[in-house]
Structure 1
Amino acid sequence: MLNTKPQSHPEFKTLSIFQLLKIFWQGRKLRPHEKWNREQIKQHQEKELRKLRDFAYSNSPFYKKFHKGLENSPLHELPVLTKKELMSSWDEIVTDRSLHLKDVENFLNNLKGAELYRDKYYAYATGGTTGVKGIFIYSKKEWFKFFSIAIRSSGWINIPFHFGKKSRMAIVQSTLPWHVAGGIAFIKIPFVNMLALDTTEPLEQIVKKLNDFQPNLLGGFAENIHTLAKEQLAGRLRIKPDTITSTAETLKKEARKAIEEAWGIKPFEEYGATETGVIASECEAHNGQHIYEDLVVVEVVDNDNKIVPPGEYGNKILVTVLWNRTLPIIRYELSDHIKLDTKPCSCGRIFTLIKEIQGREENVIHLPGQAGNRVAIEPDLFFDNMVLLPIDGWQIVQEKEDTISFLILGPHKDFKEADFLKHIVDEIVKHGAKPPSVKVEYIKELKKTKLGKTITIQALKKGEK
């Protein structure tokens, strides 16, 4: 069982100036790739994919069996790797034959900060919000690559960095050392004065610490940044960041609007996962997020793993990580619903744009349909309607196959429960579902996961009724 309590005696890792320069150098080496054309990207992906697959077939017993007879087949013909399959076959997937899942889990259970496993590997776990916990491991070289990828976009998003002058960076997210976001809290970076705040801290404490610290860069989980924007608008938070970044959760329209009203600047969103590192990030044009196609291959697919064309939402994505060798990731399934743009970004970078991220499959509520079928109600239907309500916050829980609870935080005087319920049922029915049973529950605070993320919509898991 992973420890979810703050560390009383944390262990920090201090990057040397040489290590910091190495990370920046690796990040800047990627910059010329942004000027490639589509043919150059395709050739690069094919070359790197061939090297990845050859390495996996030579060093991973799992992939040798998993891809047997398909060694020279195109990527889209290879089988899909789920998190469940990865975890059950972990010892056979890793290419260092001395690594064992049980030992790495024991290490993570006792992790106090930025320690290395066997003085050789960095290990992280996912929070298990999809129902399956994941354990992922990176060599020192891969760890530097992991963070240099995050550095590459610093020029896109106006992050000032000056040797000899400290930037003031505040992050509001998990500080659990076994989670990749939390692991950052235990790393001391030269020329950066960093304040790491745990999202589970009382809001009043977070606001006070930020007021005292006065960051020029503010980052964190999307819902936390949205909450802080509302605190700034209310006058309780008084900071003037130059740059704002968000990760981990989708930054919705209402959050972007609040951030711009609070600080007069547009936020930058970053999309990634513990399994893959950064997959995409937003540039200065704010047209969407550029997929790092020189580092990952992203396939947007339907439930049958067939490619979905740009302009349409997929049911999931399949990600292949071109740079990781310790735990190779080839056609790995992530349940995010994303839509690719049909045109390139106005910034001139040719990398494909993610136009929108609607949420995960686990956030899609399936209801009995009017035609005897099952109807998928996508998260945007709820977001578009809930944002209009005179309330401070909300969450949705599908209690049963035909029952939905709306958890309402801080309703204003003009919130009319009966009118809201009638309207939301009407909207659901328009999408072909039978009228569900709905109810409102009033809450004092939003529920969060052990990582401090806010699960806005909690649908029934497959098989539940």
Structure 2
Amino acid sequence: MAQALARLRATQVTAPQPRCADPPHGNMTAPLMTLLATAMRHRRNAHLSRRQFEAERLLRFRALVRHTLPQSPYYSAIMRERGIDPDRCAPSDFPILTKRLLREHFDSIVTDRRVTREAIVQFLQRSHDPAELYLGEFHALHTSGSSGEVGHFVFSRRDWMRGYAGLSRLSQPRLRRTRCVFYGATGGHFGGVSWAVTACQGLGRWFFDVKCVDINSPLAQTRSWLNDFQPHVLGGYVSGHKILAKEQLEGRLRIHPEMVLSGAEPLSPGDQAWLGTVFGCPCINLYGATESMLMGIARPGDAGMTVFDDELILEVGSEHILVTNLFSRTMPLIRYRVDDTVRFTDLKSPYGPYPVIEQVVGRNEWVPQFRNRQGELDFVSPHYINEIFVPGVWRFQMRWLDETSFRFVVCLDSGLSASQRIAAIGAVKARLHEILGQKGLSNVQFGVDVVEDIAVDPATGKFRLVLPGGEAPAH
């Protein structure tokens, strides 16, 4: 197997902005039809037994193997090496795919030769508009996710709509245009903001007025704008929602949403109930990932979180899950490792033949706070740190020292020249200065340290993006 694979190696938005322009080059008809057809199949699935559901899904997995994997040199080599029969195979016949393997074999995993890792990195370095598509055809995203390693993911427009169809479970028919706000990291090709802007493209603009409010904007500016806009739907991260909820309780924020959507961080049942009380509306807990889009939903009153695995096959380990993605044909992901902790229950979902997991999943990062020049405390969202993208940097971590300083630790690609290493470190410093300046925290001091690797927390075995008190895990 190793021999077979060896042959294959060959500007930030600070104010709320509508990001709803249709992608250039080509019409939206085929992606829209894909979205509708997928959503209709999901509705049919809700009436199947679990046995029928899994049998139909296995057939679609085998169709993916039969028609898509031969276009991937990486998977073609695996199938030859292992003697995998497309008509009889299951995901367990394939090896685990880690983020590091994906990075190393990116060009041979993808099925469209126009998509290369170098070209995607250059595109993501240049483009900060989540509505812009690579070559006008592909959604390109990046994240460090739960492992702390930078990953790149590419979807065709039809791939994207197949995955996006799961989000239709959140929408309800309305007789007026729905005002929606996404409060999160917005100045790049990140998962949450990319999902948000898709809602108001094409025909969606007649039904949704979507604005993206950067979580790194000064809190006073965000509060004033939200009071003026008065969103019907407030989406984002629980850490951001809790900060807004405090503003609401103290009377500085005065909004009346009809729904709060919380994702990307664990949301406890207590926080879910508290946010619902503060804002006077249901708070819905979402579980998703950049590479697999929406996976789970927990509405108020649900005993657990329903995993809608229509387009996914999940294998659960003690400290991770393996995700097989059925909607992505451009970048096939079979048994892709995600370092989230998921625990299945024996509960029956009220929404169909779907498994139910405990609601608290993933990792919960500590939120660093710093004092500005006026002596006021403000925060930097871990999600903004998480979405830092600098070519040549494959892992990073913030080590908070006090309310006026921190260290930023980075791991660089081993193949960088001396000048490229200097350029990468300079780019990291420039990006951090940009983030701090945007937040009004330009007085905060920091340094950048280069290390070979960053150890996980020895107590939990998990990677931590932000360390309080400057503590460093032992290697």
Asked if TM exceeds 0.5, the reply is yes
| Matches of 1:257 and 1:456, distance apart in 2 | 31
- Letter aligned with residue 49 of structure 2: N
**Contact 2:139/2:156, CA 8 A, preserved across alignment:** yes
- The aligned counterpart of 2:341 is 337
**Contact 1:246/1:270, CA 8 A, preserved across alignment:** yes
**Contact 2:264/2:287, CA 8 A, preserved across alignment:** yes
| Matches of 1:26 and 1:88, distance apart in 2 | 32
- The aligned counterpart of 1:437 is none
| Matches of 2:40 and 2:84, distance apart in 1 | 33
Tell me whether 1:461 sits opposite 2:474 in the alignment: no
Structure 1 pair 37–257 and aligned structure 2 pair: CA distance change class (3 A)? same
| Matches of 2:108 and 2:218, distance apart in 1 | 43
| Matches of 1:47 and 1:166, distance apart in 2 | 39
Structure 1 pair 56–8 and aligned structure 2 pair: CA distance change class (3 A)? same
SS at match of 1:104: helix
Query: 1:176, CA displacement in angstroms?
Result: 2.1
**Contact 1:210/1:239, CA 8 A, preserved across alignment:** yes
Query: 1:246, CA displacement in angstroms?
Result: 1.0
Tell me whether 1:65 sits opposite 2:77 in the alignment: yes
- Aligned counterpart in structure 1 of residue 117 of structure 2, from 101, 106, 110: 101
- The aligned counterpart of 2:238 is 222
- The aligned counterpart of 2:63 is 51
Query: Residue deviations 1:356-407, cap 9 Å, x none?
Result: 33434xx7xxxxxxxxxxxxxxx9xxxxxxxxxxxxxx65xxxxxxxxxxx7
Query: 1:200, CA displacement in angstroms?
Result: 0.7
Structure 1 pair 221–408 and aligned structure 2 pair: CA distance change class (3 A)? closer
Query: 1:42, CA displacement in angstroms?
Result: 1.6
Q: Hey, which bits of structure 1, 4+ residues long, moved more than 4 A?
A: 3-12, 15-22, 184-187, 407-410, 452-460
SS at match of 1:340: coil
- The aligned counterpart of 1:426 is none
SS at match of 1:256: helix
**Quick one: higher RCO (CA 8 Å, sep 6+), 1 or 2?**
2
Structure 1 pair 205–408 and aligned structure 2 pair: CA distance change class (3 A)? closer
**Contact 2:18/2:210, CA 8 A, preserved across alignment:** no
SS at match of 2:341: strand
- Letter aligned with residue 22 of structure 2: T
Query: Residue deviations 1:14-34, cap 9 Å, x none?
Result: 389968964456424421211
Tell me whether 1:33 sits opposite 2:45 in the alignment: yes
- The aligned counterpart of 2:353 is 350
Structure 1 pair 134–408 and aligned structure 2 pair: CA distance change class (3 A)? closer
| Matches of 2:258 and 2:386, distance apart in 1 | 25
**Contact 1:56/1:64, CA 8 A, preserved across alignment:** no
- The aligned counterpart of 1:161 is 174
- Letter aligned with residue 34 of structure 1: A
| Matches of 2:31 and 2:330, distance apart in 1 | 23
- The aligned counterpart of 1:174 is 185
- Aligned counterpart in structure 1 of residue 22 of structure 2, from 11, 14, 25: 14
Structure 1 pair 28–243 and aligned structure 2 pair: CA distance change class (3 A)? farther
**Contact 1:223/1:251, CA 8 A, preserved across alignment:** no
Query: Residue deviations 1:415-461, cap 9 Å, x none?
Result: xxxxxxxxxxxxxxxxxxxxxxxxxxxx9344433626799999952
SS at match of 1:336: coil
Farther off after superposition, 139-148 or 7-16: 7-16
SS at match of 2:121: helix
TM-score (norm 2): 0.69
**Contact 2:262/2:285, CA 8 A, preserved across alignment:** yes
**Contact 1:291/1:354, CA 8 A, preserved across alignment:** yes
- The aligned counterpart of 2:424 is none
Structure 1 pair 19–194 and aligned structure 2 pair: CA distance change class (3 A)? farther
- The aligned counterpart of 2:325 is 321
Q: CA RMSD in A?
A: 3.4
Structure 1 unaligned regions, length at least 5: 302-313, 364-378, 380-393, 396-406, 411-442
- Letter aligned with residue 356 of structure 2: L
Query: 1:202, CA displacement in angstroms?
Result: 1.6
| Matches of 2:155 and 2:355, distance apart in 1 | 27
| Matches of 1:235 and 1:25, distance apart in 2 | 45
Structure 1 pair 41–202 and aligned structure 2 pair: CA distance change class (3 A)? same
| Matches of 2:96 and 2:22, distance apart in 1 | 39
SS at match of 1:169: strand
Query: Residue deviations 1:113-143, cap 9 Å, x none?
Result: 2222222211111145623111111112112
Query: Residue deviations 1:162-215, cap 9 Å, x none?
Result: 4xx211111111112311222346554222122210111122221211111111
Query: 1:7, CA displacement in angstroms?
Result: 9.5
Q: How does 1:76-87 map to 2 (within 5 A)?
A: 76-87=92-103
- The aligned counterpart of 1:293 is 309
Structure 1 pair 238–273 and aligned structure 2 pair: CA distance change class (3 A)? same
Structure 1 pair 13–209 and aligned structure 2 pair: CA distance change class (3 A)? same
- Letter aligned with residue 355 of structure 2: T
- The aligned counterpart of 1:428 is none
Structure 2 unaligned regions, length at least 5: 1-10, 388-396, 401-453, 458-472
Query: 1:11, CA displacement in angstroms?
Result: 7.1
Q: How does 1:278-427 map to 2 (within 5 A)?
A: 278-283=294-299, 285-301=301-317, 314-345=318-349, 347=350, 349-360=352-363
Structure 1 pair 87–244 and aligned structure 2 pair: CA distance change class (3 A)? same
| Matches of 2:188 and 2:323, distance apart in 1 | 25
- Letter aligned with residue 163 of structure 2: F
Of all paired residues, the percent bearing the same amino acid is 26
